[in-house]
Amino acid sequence: MGKNQRIRRHPILDFERGKRVRFQFEGQWLEGYENESIAAALFASGVKIFGRSKRFNHPTGWFCGIGKCSSCLMRVNGIPNVRTCITPVREGMRVAIQDRKGMLPDEPDIKVAKKEEHVQVLIIGGGPAGLETEITSTRLGLNTLIIDENPIPGGQLTKQTHKFFGSKKEYAGLRGFEIARTMLEELRKCGGRYLTETSAIGYYGKDGKHKFLAVQKREGDYHLLEIKADNIVVTSGASENYLPFPGNYLPGVYGAGGVQTLMNVYGVKPGNKALIVGTGNVGLIVGYQLLQAGVEVKALIETMPCVGGYLVHASKLVRLGVPILLRHTIKEAKGEQYVDGATIIAVDENKQPIEGTELELDIDLILIAVGLSASTRIISQAGCEKMFVSELGDWISIHNASMETTIDGIYVAGDGSGIAEASTAMLEGRIAGAAIAEKESYNSEEAKRIKEEAFSELSKLRESSFLKAVTAGKRRCQQKWDEVKSREK
Ligand SMILES: Cc1cc2nc3c(=O)[nH]c(=O)nc-3n(C[C@H](O)[C@H](O)[C@H](O)COP(=O)(O)OP(=O)(O)OC[C@H]3O[C@@H](n4cnc5c(N)ncnc54)[C@H](O)[C@@H]3O)c2cc1C
Ligand code: FES
């Protein structure tokens, strides 16, 4: 892959890269832009190797691009374990691949300013679910705050270029990144607060009083926030699933959503010839977006006998001549330093490879799009009870229809409460925001009306064949919540 992979012309997006900056990578000066992450600036400069595996010293790259997987950790200005995919690049920054052993910062004594806050509603995660929670609860009169560890507000909406279906109230007809802008504008108008580059790192509540510690990064400085909150809504989203196969560690094997971030948020071309593993909506949508960014899509493969996502997205790709091979999987990624090919293989009805059906593909990019898992690490620390719900993608916090978990005053919404999609994430956020206002007696009548309206809209949306399994999963979750609460009595 050549140097300077920045996309100069795109059919939908204009990239506002900001001022040019110079930074060092392994002692060599490179150029980036102030609105880019370190990872994006490195990738755009042709750097693909971000680290070495601990056991075998294999070259490794980044994967998720949204701060969830830790494969992009580097040493930045002498501080180890910095997630370079969510840290903006700055003038004069020193970036280096870190040692495979554990290590300490250059400065043993990092000064951290501490600040305390008290809010009625703390929202962890500012995607569609978190934004809607804050818009609703702020309008109903509560004092609220969103914290989000990404430098760009809006969660996964910021990288979505397709137009949404569904209801006008959930912004149908707008593209994902336009929805994020509209919601942020709504938030600004109603006086909600949103802190970017602020990670919730631990729950320290006691005796029914909730407290989270968060770290805020600002131009290389760190601040510790101690946030006491009457209510907490965790809207921390989801992370992409990984897939085991020989060579899966190689730079060039990325999460499909990670590639979406690189292309659509930062305007950097991820490679030249791609294979996509998985035909759910994320795989299909990213396939089309790769074509828009000038990447050749050699094939999409799927172990199931049918496409997993919406037919409308699949048809678009087929019309453009992209092969979708059903009942196929990846056997191996090839390459020494980076991906330079892949072997795929047909599978039988039990998903077992059929020897002798191998096909060699000439590619430099493998996108893994095999589903998402709810991000529950931060809510688990608070001690909310969890259950495994296959229809919702993984282990999730048990919650009721008002999105309250097994701990009073702690709520969940969006993908973090079970994998679905953005419109239902907004509705769940609205329900959580209204339920809190009702409980705290803030505009109770109006809060109740908003909540009931959102319930009815949500159940209509979940009637679609695509979301039927989600409805079944949410029902099981409510039953479990009832069980837990009756046990407590
Ligand atoms: C990788 C990926 C790609 C997707 N692509 C598509 C697509 O192309 N089309 C489509 O229709 N849907 C797509 N979806 C689904 C859709 O975007 C989601 O259903 C929707 O965004 C869920 O909204 P949310 O608010 O629950 O979570 P998100 O939008 O994921 O927002 C969660 C936010 O929480 C923040 N966060 C997490 N942990 C912490 C913490 N400890 N401290 C502070 N902040 C934290 C994250 O930074 C993030 O901004 C995708 C989802 C993912 C995960
Ligand atoms: S945490 Fe940066 S790539 Fe996953």
pLDDT tens by residue, 36-72: 999 999 999 999 999 999 889 999 999 999 999 999 9
Q: Which atom of ligand 1 is nearest to the CA of 255?
A: 1
In the block, residue with structure tokens 């828009």 = 292
Kind plus residue range of the DSSP H or E element containing 342: strand 341-346
Of the candidates 429, 455, 354, the residue with the CA atom closest to the CA atom of residue 187: 429
Q: 169 or 52: whose pLDDT is higher?
A: 52
The alpha carbon of residue 139 and the mean position of all alpha carbons in its chain are separated, in whole angstroms, by: 27
Average pLDDT over residues 298-323: 96
Q: How far apart are CA 424 and CA 420, in angstroms?
A: 7
CATH 3.10.20.440 domain locations along the chain:
20-109
DSSP structure string for 397-450: E---TT-B-SSTTEEE-GGGGSS--HHHHHHHHHHHHHHHHHHTTSSHHHHHHH
Per-residue model confidence (pLDDT) at position 163: 87
Ligand nearest to the CA of 71: 2
Cβ pair 340, 271 in contact under 8 A: no
Q: Which residues of 120-132 are buried (b: 16+ CB within 10 A; e: fewer)?
A: bbbbbbbbbbbbb
Kind plus residue range of the DSSP H or E element containing 477: helix 468-488
- Burial class from Cβ neighbours inside 10 Å (0-12, 13-18, 19+) for residue 259 reads buried
Q: At residue 172, does pLDDT exceed 50?
A: yes
Longest dimension (CA), the chain: 67
Per-residue model confidence (pLDDT) at position 489: 78
> Which residues touch 84 (CB under 8 Å, ≥6 apart)?
37, 38, 39, 42, 50, 62, 72, 73, 74, 76, 95
DSSP 88: B
Q: At residue 244, does pLDDT exceed 80?
A: yes
Q: Which atom of ligand 2 is nearest to the CA of 86?
A: 2
17 CA from centroid of ligand 1 (Å): 23
Per-residue model confidence (pLDDT) at position 201: 95
Q: Are strands 341-346 and 359-361 parallel, antiparallel or unpaired?
A: antiparallel
42 CA from centroid of ligand 1 (Å): 24
Per-residue model confidence (pLDDT) at position 4: 65
Q: At residue 1, does pLDDT exceed 50?
A: no
Q: At residue 110, does pLDDT exceed 90?
A: no
176 CA from centroid of ligand 1 (Å): 12
Ligand nearest to the CA of 65: 2
Of the candidates 347, 344, 287, 348, the residue with the CA atom closest to the CA atom of residue 319: 287
CATH 3.50.50.60 domain locations along the chain:
113-238+376-488, 269-372
Alpha-carbon separation of residue 472 from 73, 381, 387, 391 (angstroms): 38, 27, 14, 7
pLDDT, averaged across the chain? 94
Of the candidates 83, 76, 80, the residue with the CA atom closest to the CA atom of residue 62: 83
Angle 351-371-215 from CA coordinates, rounded to 5°: 145
Look up the CATH architecture of domain 20-109: Roll (3.10)
Task: Using pLDDT thresholds of 50, 70 and 90, give the confidence band for residue 80.
Answer: very high
pTM, whole model, 2 decimals?
A: 0.95
Query: Helix, strand or coil for residue 42?
Result: helix
| Least confident segment among 84-93, 127-136, 385-394, 458-467 | 458-467
Task: Using pLDDT thresholds of 50, 70 and 90, give the confidence band for residue 467.
Answer: confident
Per-residue model confidence (pLDDT) at position 3: 58
Q: Which atom of ligand 2 is nearest to the CA of 67?
A: 1
Pocket lining: 161 vs ligand 1, CB cutoff 6 Å: no
pLDDT digits (tens, 9 = 90+) for 441-460: 999 999 999 999 999 999 99
Q: Which residue of 69, 175, 203, 236 sits with most ligand 1 atoms within 8 Å of its CB, as the best mutation to test the pocket?
A: 236
Pocket lining: 238 vs ligand 1, CB cutoff 6 Å: yes
Helices within 6-92 (DSSP H only): 38-44
Q: At residue 2, does pLDDT exceed 60?
A: no
Q: At residue 226, does pLDDT exceed 90?
A: yes
Per-residue model confidence (pLDDT) at position 488: 86
Q: How far apart are CA 214 and CA 82, in angstroms?
A: 16
32 CA from centroid of ligand 2 (Å): 19
pLDDT digits (tens, 9 = 90+) for 351-392: 999 999 999 999 999 999 999 999 999 999 999 999 999 999
Pocket lining: 196 vs ligand 1, CB cutoff 6 Å: no
Check if CATH label 3.50.50.60 holds for domain 113-238+376-488: yes
Q: At residue 465, does pLDDT exceed 90?
A: no
Q: For residue 104, what are its two tokens?
A: 């300490």
Q: Which fold has domain 269-372?
A: FAD/NAD(P)-binding domain (3.50.50)
318 CA from centroid of ligand 1 (Å): 28
Q: Residues enclosing ligand 2, CB less than 6 A?
A: 62-65, 67-72, 83, 85
Strand partners, 410: 232
Of the candidates 277, 332, 344, 268, the residue with the CA atom closest to the CA atom of residue 308: 277
Q: At residue 277, does pLDDT exceed 90?
A: yes
Ligand nearest to the CA of 380: 1
- Burial class from Cβ neighbours inside 10 Å (0-12, 13-18, 19+) for residue 56 reads exposed
Average pLDDT over residues 203-219: 92
Read off φ and ψ for residue 340, nearest 5 degrees: -135, 30
